[in-house]
Amino acid sequence: MDSKQRIDAVLAHQSTDQTPFCLVDGGAWIAKNEGMTYRQLYSLEDGGASRIVKWTDQINTDVVSAVSGVFTACLNAFGCPIHIDEIGRPVDAGAALSDPESEIPLLDKGTIREKLLANDFVQGMLRQAKNVKALAGERKYLLGDIAGPFTMAAVLVGTQDFIMLIMDEPELVEQLMDFTTAVSAEMFKLLLECGCDIAMPAEPVASGSLISQKMFDEWVIPALKNLKDELKDYKYFFTHVCGASGSRVKSLRDAGVAAFSGDYLVDLDQALTDADGRLTIMGNINPAGALLSGTAEEVYAEACERIKTAGGRAMILAPGCDMGANTPVENVLMLSKACRDLAGR
């Protein structure tokens, strides 16, 4: 099997020659290995695409991220400050709405595409995606990982203020999430036009470590369903949720998500059981554990344990979240090695 066939098979819950392997993102890691800031990476003629393809080929991923490391950066088009000038630091977007009560009703969905296309960093993202497609699109599916509607809303007003807003003024949150769903959808559509095959809205603020299951089902699932409906031209629709989010599996399964990217705090065996042959589980190597600070042998053992736990059930081996910038290359190589060595397990 080639990489695309392997991904097609695992998402169809069919047997594969070996467990597929991919990164959740890897942008900070790639930039650090290149000795570059995000601004420098995205300022390259190809938007940094050749560097991304070089590293993902070196570690033998089956999927390549088309916009590495910038899942909230498009919110810069709507006033969120971003920090992109420190080597090894992931892109971090700050809040834009200081007075939600007066500013949320003024948000205009009619100008979203225009504002995105006028933003220099978004243009860099699109340039990168186009060039990743040209370099690797025949061999691997391109994954676009952009913040989902719930997390975008939290970033715009600040996470703590956003949670309070849900409890105090839910009608205002509905307006905000209507806007952020449209922003997320438009950004994913732009990436689709550049060649992305897989949409993966990332929802770290929807973590089980931050909000209840009731809140997840009330706010996150409807927004993801709406987003999925807007992105019917994508080949696959994944979702990433950080933290202790194993309870999210059944809701995401029933929402029609193709793959759930879960953190190391998720019980893999239980997640695969709850997936019930209808949802592929992606994960869940601890990115801050042996992968970052342990030995290659320890990483290999952890990866083999995950593959054995899956026992042939539909799983894509991956770090449970984005990798630390200082993760040793030799450790990352152990993930794909485990997939090859345990082929058929």
Kindly list the domain boundaries of the chain, sorted by start residue: 3-341
Coil, strand or helix at 130: helix
How far apart, in Å, are the Cα atoms of 260 and each of 18, 24, 199, 315?
19, 11, 12, 10
Q: Which residue has the tokens 């190597």?
A: 285
The token pair that represents 138 in the structure block = 């025949």
Contact 61, 23 (CB under 8 A): yes
Q: What is the mean pLDDT of the chain?
A: 95
Instruction: Determine the pLDDT at residue 219.
Output: 97
The percentage of residues in the chain with a pLDDT greater than 70, rounded to a whole number, is 99
Residue 169 has pLDDT above 70, yes or no: yes
Q: Which class is 3-341 in CATH?
A: alpha beta
With a cut of 80, say whether residue 303 has pLDDT above it.
Answer: yes
Lowest-confidence pick of 85-94, 180-189, 261-270: 85-94
pLDDT of residue 345: 63
CA distance 228 to 238: 9
Contacts of 27 (CB under 8 A, 6+ apart): 38, 52, 65, 67, 68, 69, 70, 90, 91, 322
Q: Is 75's pLDDT higher than 80?
A: yes
| 69 pLDDT more than 90 | no
CA 233 to chain centre: 18
Could you tell me the pTM of the whole model?
0.95
Residue 343: band (very low, low, confident or very high) from pLDDT cuts 50, 70, 90: confident
Q: Give the burial class of 160: count Cβ atoms within 10 A of its Cβ; 0-12 exposed, 13-18 middle, 19 or more buried.
A: exposed
The pLDDT assigned to 162 comes to 95
Beta bridge partners of 262: 241
